[in-house]
Amino acid sequence: MSITIVGLGPGDPAQLTREAWEVLEAAQEVYLRTRRHPTVPHLPDHLVLHSFDHLYEEAEDFGELYTTIAAEVLALGRRPEGVIYAVPGHPLVGEASVSRILTGAAEAHLS
């Protein structure tokens, strides 16, 4: 049970960190906050990609959206295989879903 959060960088696939690339190469599946990022088409071919894009159309506001995404990522993190969650940019800069996930993970004692 774990949650791994990966930043996809600012948009140029060449700016993806080595650590992020290694996590993605070793993964089987990745949950993306959104597929609408220039790095996504350049991710390893073997990955099964899931996204939360559909929630953008259903949510009343961004607060609700990020709370819903965080709840889903936390639930996925409880699986034996855990979850890898990828976000645009750096995960700790302007990512409301990530701050909610980190708070929830600490409360649930997830690593």
Query: 83-87 and 29-32 as β-strands: parallel, antiparallel, unpaired?
Result: parallel
What are the residues whose beta carbons fall under 8 Å from the beta carbon of 107, sequence distance 6 or more? none
pLDDT at 110: 75
Q: Token pair for residue 54?
A: 């559909």
Q: Is residue 98 part of a domain?
A: yes
| Cβ atoms 110, 78 nearer than 8 A | yes
Q: How many CB atoms sit inside 10 A of residue 43's CB?
A: 20
pLDDT at 1: 79
Domain with 19 in it: what CATH number? 3.40.1010.10
pLDDT tens track for 52-81: 999 998 888 999 999 999 999 999 999 999
Q: Is residue 56 part of a domain?
A: yes
Name the pTM for this structure: 0.93
* Domains identified in the chain, total number: 1
Q: Is residue 34 part of a domain?
A: yes
Q: Is residue 111 part of a domain?
A: no
Residue 40 CB-half CA count within 13 A: 18
Structural domain range at position 67 = 3-106
